[in-house]
Structure 1
């Protein structure tokens, strides 16, 4: 698949309407059966430079290209990544977990000196899972955080594409590191998503603390047919 080159057209239109900052936001790991869900953010302002060459939605880039882009993206925009653990996904559900990770990413930007006043968040997708998770102490002084939901924003908005790249690389690195202690799940290759090798590893060794236990019962009933009891290892 040929990567779609994102632009700053949407961001510049929002900045031209009086916004001081546009924050692109995207999630990674929503459909995984193991590991955290990660949310990346990338803040841009009117003085932002040209879009980094080769930047695209993380799903359209090779792992090597994503890794090469991260330092370039971090010089180009203010970025951060927030995460919510598999345990949070199990206890609260995926939507609250996304919100928690998104709020954590915004909090990291604020601590890095990014103001949320006169700011709009461009959120990839069709549903606003962020607004309810933004606490009063994090919200801008003038009222609730402004969130613009945009389908396929990771394809055409450079700030959202940048957010997707930093989140993907950081989450992948976490799963690769976890593979060292639990190689039977194949996390270095599947990054926590469902695969034949991953399900075979669960059958052989039981569930790991990084697994989303509720998802193994619900979404994986066919793949784990005959595997009724999920013993936890580690």
Structure 2
């Protein structure tokens, strides 16, 4: 008989809640020999969590395979670049370039759209801690109207590069080529395939979402705190009722019949 067989199910659940996942494998073996069905269910639950974490570790290792190929060639300062806000009717397009320490390996880094708001904010802080350097680029709606969203996105990227203190030896970019002398590699669906690009997408998303929260305080009728400037039905209705704000992209709304 092991120590857990003398514990009540409630006491066992409370004990498990104090442990980290690294402690689970040995515990699972002890719980599986318990005859109580409730305890066996706890063991099954812990097994699923261990399996999920192992799968996540494999996914992150796969995401880092692109960067690791270059690290092995002696290229250490790899800049990941991504954007958020190409599609909204209002607000700026925001980009981030980040140069991560080669050992950075945070679980759950992914395309920012696939990460919950809470986890994005946690990961944002962790990735900044892991960064050798990072910078934000931002192009406002008036400039987007003037030069179009694609060129505005590229401008935000090059602007962010210009403000870095640590200069990258290589850039990994999500499906774009930009005007820079730095060697660059465009990766289709890069925010789902490259750890560095995904990291950039998370930081850019958190930055822009926080900015749109501030705009919501100025223009509460438009719901910027939850639509982030995208053209939801409620946002379009607000445009019909109140007209555009100074942060709306005229080139985006002119064909909406508003």
Question: Same fold judged by TM-score > 0.5?
Answer: yes
Aligned residues of 1:25 and 1:124 also touching (Cα < 8 A):
yes
Which of 145, 167, 181 is 1:115 aligned to? 167
SS at match of 2:128: helix
How many Å apart are 1:100 and its aligned residue?
A: 1.3
SS at match of 2:245: coil
Which of 168, 171, 174 is 1:124 aligned to? 174
Q: Aligned pair 1:52/2:52, yes or no? A: no
**C-alpha RMSD of the superposition:** 1.8
Give per-residue Cα distances to partners, 1:109-143, cap 9 Å, x unaligned.
Answer: 2xxx3024xx1110012x32x22xx4xxxxxxxxx
Give per-residue Cα distances to partners, 1:121-174, cap 9 Å, x unaligned.
Answer: 10012x32x22xx4xxxxxxxxx2211000111112111111000000000000
How many Å apart are 1:55 and its aligned residue?
A: 1.4
How many Å apart are 1:189 and its aligned residue?
A: 0.6
Partner of 1:100: 155
Q: Aligned pair 1:61/2:115, yes or no? A: yes
SS at match of 1:17: coil
- Matched pairs, number: 200
SS at match of 2:150: helix
Correspondence list, 1:205-216, <5 A:
205-216=242-253
CA distance in 2, matches of 1:157, 1:8: 6
Q: Aligned pair 1:187/2:224, yes or no? A: yes
How many Å apart are 1:213 and its aligned residue?
A: 0.5
More helix per residue: 1 or 2? 2
Partner of 2:139: 84
List gaps (5 residues or longer) in structure 2.
Answer: 1-54
SS at match of 1:25: strand
CA distance in 2, matches of 1:199, 1:115: 42
Aligned residues of 1:5 and 1:155 also touching (Cα < 8 A):
no
TM-score, normalisation: structure 2:
0.73
Give per-residue Cα distances to partners, 1:75-130, cap 9 Å, x unaligned.
Answer: 11232211100111001111221111101211222xxx3024xx1110012x32x2
List gaps (5 residues or longer) in structure 1.
Answer: 135-143, 228-234
Partner of 1:24: 80
The structure with higher relative contact order (CA 8 Å, sep 6+) is 1
Give per-residue Cα distances to partners, 1:183-215, cap 9 Å, x unaligned.
Answer: 111100100011011111111111111000011
Partner of 2:214: 177
How many Å apart are 1:216 and its aligned residue?
A: 0.2
CA distance in 1, matches of 2:143, 2:249: 9
Partner of 2:28: none
TM-score, normalisation: structure 1:
0.80
